[in-house]
A = this chain, B = another copy of it.
């Protein structure tokens, strides 16, 4: 029987280090593989990110682009506040600001709804990707 995560290996460490060193980056398995060079195989990268996602250390985002590659990013934090996900580049950002608290209070007071900030992710477009989209449509 596979006792997952029983052994600590060089490859696991290298992959975990990579995400820690690029905590803002949102990358594909292929990109991690390319960055680490000969140290690890692509299969191991896939296996590692799958496990890290299960453990909650990473977050996976599957982009709209149907056949496209899944993106992985270090879970920014487990604290309770909202996150916003860009639907184009996939980046997950923190959103800690007073207005969110006002919004949460309003949901509770007027709608009787207890928002779970840890589970909720807002979807949309970040500043950069919004600009890129505008450029494309103008062309």
Task: Spell out A's residues near B (CB within 8 Å).
Answer: 50, 60, 62-64, 66, 70, 84, 86-87, 93, 95, 97, 99, 103, 106-107, 110-116, 119-127, 130
Which 9 residue pairs spanning A and B have beta carbons closest together?
Answer: A112-B127, A62-B62, A119-B123, A115-B124, A114-B125, A116-B124, A120-B123, A114-B124, A103-B103
How many subunits of this chain does the assembly comprise?
2
25 A–B contacts, CB within 8 A, in A order: A50-B66, A60-B66, A62-B62, A62-B63, A62-B66, A66-B70, A84-B107, A84-B115, A86-B113, A87-B119, A97-B110, A99-B106, A99-B110, A112-B127, A112-B130, A113-B122, A113-B124, A113-B125, A113-B127, A114-B125, A114-B130, A115-B123, A116-B125, A119-B124, A120-B121
With A70-B66, A123-B119, A125-B116 as known contacts, state yes or no: A111 contacts B95, CB within 8 Å.
yes
Asked if A116 and B87 sit within 8 Å, CB to CB, the answer is: yes
